[in-house]
């Protein structure tokens, strides 16, 4: 697909879900102009990352808050986005035992209460055990460190989604 030939609606349709429930990233990308360089995934990922990184703290927080909990209520009820469903299933989060679901539920509650956004990690290639270990470690971070860590994870997820396109 040649991105520079697409109109705004097509760009937003194609790239609007790269950052979870945040089509504003694709809108800004389009408003800045699409060139043939954007057909390179690495270049496009860096441009989109820069848009997020230069946005306000409020916009970044909204972006983090747009992500679902891992093995959370939306996953259980089947209300995740297609991308999030596939990502969580790839790590086996859709096959948690009752004990694992209870642990994820407890950690999700504590983490969101402490940081004001859900725990975010690029789950591709990770096991449930590795995700829980990271969850337990990161919940002890301070707010600024965790905000920055969560944003880095969001960027990893975005790159993986772009590569999948």
Whose CA is closest to 135, among 153, 124, 121?
121
* 67 counts as catalytic: yes
Give every CB contact of residue 156 below 8 A, 6+ residues apart in sequence: 122
For 34, the token pair is 């699409």
Among the listed residues 21, 67, 117, 155, the single catalytic one is: 67
Q: DSSP state, 97?
A: -
CB atoms within 10 A of CB 34: 21
Give every CB contact of residue 87 below 8 A, 6+ residues apart in sequence: 122, 123, 124, 157, 160
Whose CA is closest to 67, among 46, 54, 84?
84
Indicate which residues carry an active-site annotation. Answer: 67
């Amino acid at each position: 697909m040649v991105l520079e030939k697409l109109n705004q609606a097509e760009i937003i349709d194609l790239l609007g879900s790269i950052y979870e429930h945040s089509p504003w990233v694709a809108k800004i990308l389009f408003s800045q102009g699409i060139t043939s360089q954007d057909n390179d995934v690495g270049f496009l990922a860096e441009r989109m990352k820069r848009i997020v990184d230069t946005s306000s703290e409020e916009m970044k927080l909204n972006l983090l808050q747009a992500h679902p909990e891992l093995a959370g209520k939306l996953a259980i009820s089947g209300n995740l986005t297609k991308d999030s469903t596939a990502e969580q299933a790839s790590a086996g989060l859709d096959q948690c035992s009752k004990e694992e679901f209870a642990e994820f539920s407890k950690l999700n509650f504590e983490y969101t209460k402490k940081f004001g956004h859900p725990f975010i990690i690029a789950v591709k290639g990770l096991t449930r055990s590795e995700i829980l270990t990271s969850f337990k470690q990161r919940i002890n971070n301070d707010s600024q460190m965790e905000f920055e860590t969560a944003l880095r994870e969001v960027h990893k997820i975005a790159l993986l989604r772009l590569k999948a396109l």
